[in-house]
Amino acid sequence: MTKLFPAFLALAGALALSGCAGLHPGKLSPAPSEEGKPLQPVPVFPGMAGAGEGEAPLSDLVFNLLAGELAGREHRLDLAVEHYLLAAEASDDPRVAERAVRIALFAKQPEQALTAARRWIELAPDSVAAHQTLAALSVRTGRVEEALEELEWLLDHQADFVEITALLAREADHRAALDVMRRLAARHPDRPEAWLAHARLAQLAKAYDEALGAIDKALALRPDWDDAVIERARILARAGRRS
């Protein structure tokens, strides 16, 4: 588990040195991150002054980065998540929010991961990875409308239904994934690939009658589509039927 933490611990340590160094009044110049892009200045804890007169106080961001990383190394994942969520709110760097998502997922705290993913999108609204993550977490936590919004965003930004199927198929709760895909396909009734995706998710959930109905809709829109013809045969075989 400690492999999850050393890289950002070095970053947090660098930020702590930056936050505690003597600086000109009214200025805060954080050390560069591991990719060379500085994190933005953040408000400081009142009353948390540096070790000597004239030294800058320790910032919220630096404190929570360090506390989160150290908690993780001590196997206190609950505290690591708590501090990283605070760091994500304090920072304007989307990598901190992404890190918070990863730690929350590692700690099996999907609600906290969802909060961090929303923050990630606030800071990086064009990040495909952020929208994919929020879509998956929305499915996982039963937020169907939010999942649909994120999937629509992905479809509008060059994703296709094959990618959407792959994203939803990774969810452990196949019924929940199917519910989302069912509603998504209904929003795109004239797209045969939407019904093919619906049919594939229905098979994962062992809803073979629903899968057959969906693939028949795909074939009605595109009768000679080989992918749909093959999928229909696959559904019938899995359902133990011949026609």
Does 3 have pLDDT greater than 50? yes
The reply to whether 170 falls in a domain is: yes
For residues 8 and 116, membership in a common domain is answered with: yes
pLDDT digits (tens, 9 = 90+) for 64-77: 999 999 999 999 99
For residues 82 and 36, membership in a common domain is answered with: yes
Which residue range(s) make up the domain with 91?
1-125
Which domain-ending residue is among 92, 125, 158? 125
Query: Count of domains in the chain?
Result: 2
- Cα 57 to Cα 47, 111, 138: the distances in Å are 8, 32, 38
pLDDT digits (tens, 9 = 90+) for 44-56: 333 333 434 443 3
The reply to whether 113 falls in a domain is: yes
DSSP string covering 32-62, please? B-TTS-BPPP--B-TT---SSTTBPPPBHHH
pTM of the model as a whole: 0.76
For residues 176 and 56, membership in a common domain is answered with: no
Residue type, position 156, single letter: D
The reply to whether 134 falls in a domain is: no
Does 26 have pLDDT greater than 60? no
For residues 83 and 174, membership in a common domain is answered with: no
Which domain-ending residue is among 125, 155, 182? 125
The reply to whether 132 falls in a domain is: no
User: The domain spanning residue 212 has which CATH number?
Assistant: 1.25.40.10
For residues 110 and 42, membership in a common domain is answered with: yes
Tokens, residue 50: 């540096």
The reply to whether 133 falls in a domain is: no
